[in-house]
């Protein structure tokens, strides 16, 4: 038993070390600079060894996506303690955009990377992401319940607000705001956020 459990521990350790190396490389060079050989080099093993612990690169991708989802959840945490649903919703949105602008790589990994989305529903990162998303939807529902909106279609309200926030971040992350000088982009995002809040107040 002892040997078996030790081996199990060692296996888990190795997986963790691989992921940690992948994490570091990703943070340093982005997803493009992340490849099997660079991970192998960093942990001082041969590339083939990686495949004894992860089925393929996608599995590492999912694991990294989990880290990104966790980072996002942590970033949004301060909003969860706000009592008033409307204030909570605004704080949540502000933190969401803030997360995207501050950690474009993480955001990219979560929402923009073209990657093995086929069976993501079975992955832990999906569960974590869904929990965060549910919190957002529930906050909108709480606003509806508290009659902050005339509309009662909380699903559409949540989706609409999400689209706006995601649109802002992803235009920024994927560098599609080059028609605006770099200096004004932050200001524009801020103004647009305030505008969507105003717009939401009329819902």
Partner DNA sequence: TTGATTCACTAAACACTGTTCAGTAACTTT
Partner DNA sequence: AAAGTTACTGAACAGTGTTTAGTGAATCAA
What minimum distance in Å lies between the beta carbon of 33 and a copy of itself? 13
**x-or-dash pattern for a copy of itself, window 151-180, by CB under 8 A?**
x-x-xxx-xx-xxxxxxx-xx--xxx-xx-
Interaction partner, residue 155 (DNA, a copy of itself, none; CB < 5-8 Å by kind): a copy of itself
198: Cα separation from own chain's centroid: 26
Q: How many residues in the chain?
A: 203
Q: Does 103 sit near a copy of itself (CB under 8 A)?
A: no
Q: How far is CA 72 from CA 78, 166, 173, 194, in A?
A: 11, 13, 15, 22
Neighbours of 24 (CB within 10 A): 14
Task: Enter the DSSP assignment of 120.
Answer: G
Stretch that binds DNA, among 6-14, 134-142, 149-157, 183-191 (CB under 7 A): 6-14
Q: Does 7 sit near DNA (CB under 7 A)?
A: yes
Short-list 203, 125, 115, CA closest to 164? 203
C-beta of 9 vs 190, nearer to DNA: 9
Q: Does 119 sit near DNA (CB under 7 A)?
A: no
Q: Does 37 sit near DNA (CB under 7 A)?
A: yes
Helix 124-145 × helix 57-80 angle, to 10°: 30
Stretch that binds a copy of itself, among 1-9, 40-48, 53-61, 119-127 (CB under 8 A): 119-127
């Amino acid at each position: 038993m002892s040997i078996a459990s030790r081996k199990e521990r060692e296996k888990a350790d190795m997986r963790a070390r691989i992921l940690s190396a992948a994490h570091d490389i990703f943070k340093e060079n982005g997803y493009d600079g992340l490849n099997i050989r660079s991970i192998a080099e960093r942990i001082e093993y041969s590339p083939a060894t990686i495949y004894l612990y992860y089925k393929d690169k996608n599995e590492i991708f999912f694991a990294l996506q989990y880290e990104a989802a966790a980072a996002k959840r942590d970033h949004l945490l301060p909003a969860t303690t706000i009592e008033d649903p409307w204030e909570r919703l605004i704080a949540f949105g502000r933190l969401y955009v803030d997360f995207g602008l501050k950690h474009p790589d993480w955001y990219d990994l979560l929402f923009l990377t073209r990657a093995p989305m086929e069976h993501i529903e079975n992955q832990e990162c999906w569960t974590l992401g869904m929990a965060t998303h549910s919190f957002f939807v529930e906050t909108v529902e709480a606003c509806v319940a508290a009659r902050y909106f005339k509309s009662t279609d909380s699903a559409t309200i949540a989706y609409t607000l999400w689209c706006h926030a995601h649109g802002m971040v992803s235009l920024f992350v994927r560098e599609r705001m080059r028609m605006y000088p770099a200096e004004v982009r932050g200001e524009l995002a801020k103004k647009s956020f305030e505008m969507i809040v105003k717009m939401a107040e009329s819902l």
